[in-house]
Amino acid sequence: MCETESAKYWLGVLNDLKNRGVKDILIATVDGLSGFKEAIRAAFPQSDIQRCIVHQTRNSLKFVSYKERKEVASDLKKIYKAPNEEAALEELSAFEAKWNTKYPQIGKSWRANWEELSTFYKYPQEIRTLIYTTNPIESLNSSIKSLTHNKGVFTTQDALLKIVYLAVEKVLEKWTMPLKNWPSILAQLSIYYEDIVGKCI
């Protein structure tokens, strides 16, 4: 599938969400799917896009020898744990100075994706924690896949939808804890996105 087809597919998904009543997406956390960020920018041009730090780090470590993986991971952590974008760029430069001879593709990848990797630096820690990774949705997908994968063939589409519904219900039972610092997060989002969130609270 070429990138334009991929972007077209994701644009269809996003337009379907709009047709179902979604007015805006404040922040979209993505994992590098081809064409996804382009589709988000087309459908919801005001959205901030944050690339998944966990995916970026995992992809970076694929290039690293097993003996050095822990040290490289520790040095990458200094980048995404930096207090602001300026400090993060300094850490990225330090990383490149140390590792570019052995692993030039890592620094190159972080630089190429920096626009989306650095979005979360403008937010406080409470919001950064929510948007730095796509792992929560991947956990949900994994729960659904584990139920549907073992069933083989489904007799009807309704049968499949029932299994997916039950899987989501099971996952929702675990989502009982209130979101930590939600009042503070909501207050800050209402300032960052006054025209959107401010009208809803």
Could you tell me which residues are beta bridge partners of residue 30? 51
Residues 40 and 25: beta-carbon distance below 8 Å: yes
Least confident among 72-76, 120-124, 182-186: 182-186
**pLDDT for the residue numbered 2:** 46
User: Does pLDDT of 4 surpass 60?
Assistant: no
- pTM (2 decimals)? 0.77
- CA pair distance 176, 117, nearest whole angstrom: 30
Q: Where are the alpha helices (DSSP H) in 20-156?
A: 36-43, 53-61, 69-80, 85-99, 104-112, 114-117, 125-131, 135-149
Residues 36 and 30: beta-carbon distance below 8 Å: yes
User: Does pLDDT of 76 surpass 80?
Assistant: yes
User: Does pLDDT of 68 surpass 80?
Assistant: yes
With cut-offs at 50, 70 and 90, classify the pLDDT of residue 75: very high
What residue ranges do the domains of the chain occupy?
1-51, 53-114+122-132, 134-201
For 124-157, how does the pLDDT look when each residue is reduced to its tens digit (9 = 90+)?
988 898 888 876 666 666 666 776 676 667 778 8
Q: What percent of the chain has pLDDT over 70?
A: 86
98 is written with which tokens?
């140390």
**pLDDT for the residue numbered 151:** 65
CA distances to 31, 63, 167 from 132, in Å: 10, 22, 25
Measured from the Cβ of residue 127, the count of other Cβ atoms closer than 10 Å reads 20
**pLDDT for the residue numbered 200:** 62
Average pLDDT, the chain: 86
User: Does pLDDT of 93 surpass 90?
Assistant: yes
User: Does pLDDT of 72 surpass 70?
Assistant: yes
**pLDDT for the residue numbered 49:** 94
Mean pLDDT value across residues 171-177: 71
- Of 48, 75, 82, residue with least CA distance to 60: 75
181: left (phi over 0), alpha (psi -120 to 50) or beta: left
